[in-house]
Chains A and B, each alone.
Chain A
Amino acid sequence: MDSITDFSAPPMVEGIAHVVKIDGKSVWLEPEQGSSCGSCASASACGSKGIGTISSRLENRRFRIDNDANLSVGERVVFGIRENVLLKASITAYAIPLVALVLAGALAQWKFGSDLITMAATVTGLVIGLGISRMAAGHLHSKGDLAPLFLRRAKPGETCGS
C-alpha cells in the first residue's frame, strides 16, 4: 500500500494547481487536469475532452486566492474545497433545475394530458429552475462557500491521486 487515508483530517476535496499570475495581494491559479482524464492511457485519443483544447478548458477554470503564503509564478500548490460544498454546488447547478422541470411537466401532464403542452411546461420549468439556481448560487457565493482554500505547497511529483 502506498498511502494510508487519514480519517481524522477534515473532509476536504483536494486538487493541484499552479500559479499563473500574481495580481497585487492575490494570485491566479490554474488547476491541473483531473485524475479521471489525465492518468488515462487513452487520454490522447479520447473524445471526452469535447470541443476545445484541454488548455482552453483549464484556462476557463482559473481562480484567484489571497497570496498569504507568498507564492510565485510557476509554483504548484494544493488547494482544497470542503466536501459538502461540492455536494451543495451539484444540487444547486443540476438538481434545482431538474426538480422544477419534472414538477412542471408532471403538473401539465396531469392537468392537460397533452404531450405538446407538457413539453412547453418542462421547458418553462427548466428556465424557472435555472433562475432559482442562479439565485442560490449567488447566495452560496456571497457566503464565500464556493471559494477554494490554499492548503500547502505541493511536493515535487505530487498528484491528485498520490
Chain B
Amino acid sequence: MKEYVLLMFTAALVNNVILGRFLGLCPTMGVTTRLDAAVGMGMATTFVMTIAAIAGWTVNTLLLTPFDLGYLRTITFILIIASTVQFTEMVVKKVSPELFKLLGIYLPLITTNCAVLGIALLLVADKMSFISSVLFALGSAMGFSLVLVIFAGLRERLAVMDVPRLFAGPPIAFIVVSLLALAFMGFSGMGAN
C-alpha cells in the first residue's frame, strides 16, 4: 500500500510531468489563460492518460513483448492514444450529449499531447506491473492537472497586474512557470525514484 502511495506522490510532485520531465508544454502555455479551460483540459487529460496507460500496458504485455515487436512500440502507442481520444469522445457523447458540448473541445487537443505518449512509454520502460502502471499514469496526470490549474490561476492574476510592456504576455508567463518549476524542485529527493 505504502509503495503505491509513494509511486503516485513521486509521479505527481517529485517527477512532475510538466515541471520535472518537461512534457506537455504546449497545453501548459496554450490552455492556461483561463482557469476553467485548465480544469477542463486537466480532467480530460487525466482520463485519457490513465486509459491510454491501461491500453498501452495491455498491448505491450500481450502483443509486442511476446512477439518481439518492440521496435513498433512508439507507433503502436501513438495509434493507441489517438484511438483512446476518439473512444473517449464517443463515450462522453453517448453518456451525455450535453457534457460533450461543454467538454468536447479539449479532447482533440490531447491527441498531440506528448505527455500522454511519454508516460505510456515510461511505464513500459520501467517494466511496471499493471496496477503500478495505472497508478503511475493517474499520479502523473494529477500532477499535470495540478500544474495547469496553479499556472492558470497565476496567469489570471497576471492579466490584471501592471506588467512592464517588455515582459507582457508570454515572457512573464515563462518567467512564472520557471519560478513554479523551482518551487517544485523542493520535492526533489522525496518519495520513490
Q: How far is the CB of B61 from the nearest CB of chain A, in Å?
A: 8
Complex CA distance for A134 and B94, rounded to whole angstroms: 9
What total of chain B residues lie within 8 Å of the partner, measured CB to CB? 51
The secondary-structure label for the interface of chain A is: helix
Q: How far is the CB of B59 from the nearest CB of chain A, in Å?
A: 12
Is B104 part of the binding interface, using a Cβ–Cβ cutoff of 8 Å?
Answer: yes
Q: For this complex, into which size category does the number of interface residues on chain A fall?
A: 35 or more
A48-B108 in contact (CB<8A) = yes
B102-A146 in contact (CB<8A) = yes
Among A19-27, A66-74, A91-99, the one that faces the other chain is A91-99
A86-B39 in contact (CB<8A) = yes
Q: How far is the CB of B168 from the nearest CB of chain A, in Å?
A: 8
Complex CA distance for A122 and B30, rounded to whole angstroms: 32
Q: CB-CB contacts of A120-162 with B at 8 A, as 1s and 0s?
A: 0010001000100110011011000011000000000000010
Residues of B within 8 A of A65 (CB): none
A57-B104 in contact (CB<8A) = yes
Cross-chain pairs A/B with CB under 8 angstroms, 10 sampled: A36-B27, A37-B109, A48-B108, A50-B107, A51-B82, A57-B104, A61-B101, A94-B47, A101-B134, A105-B134
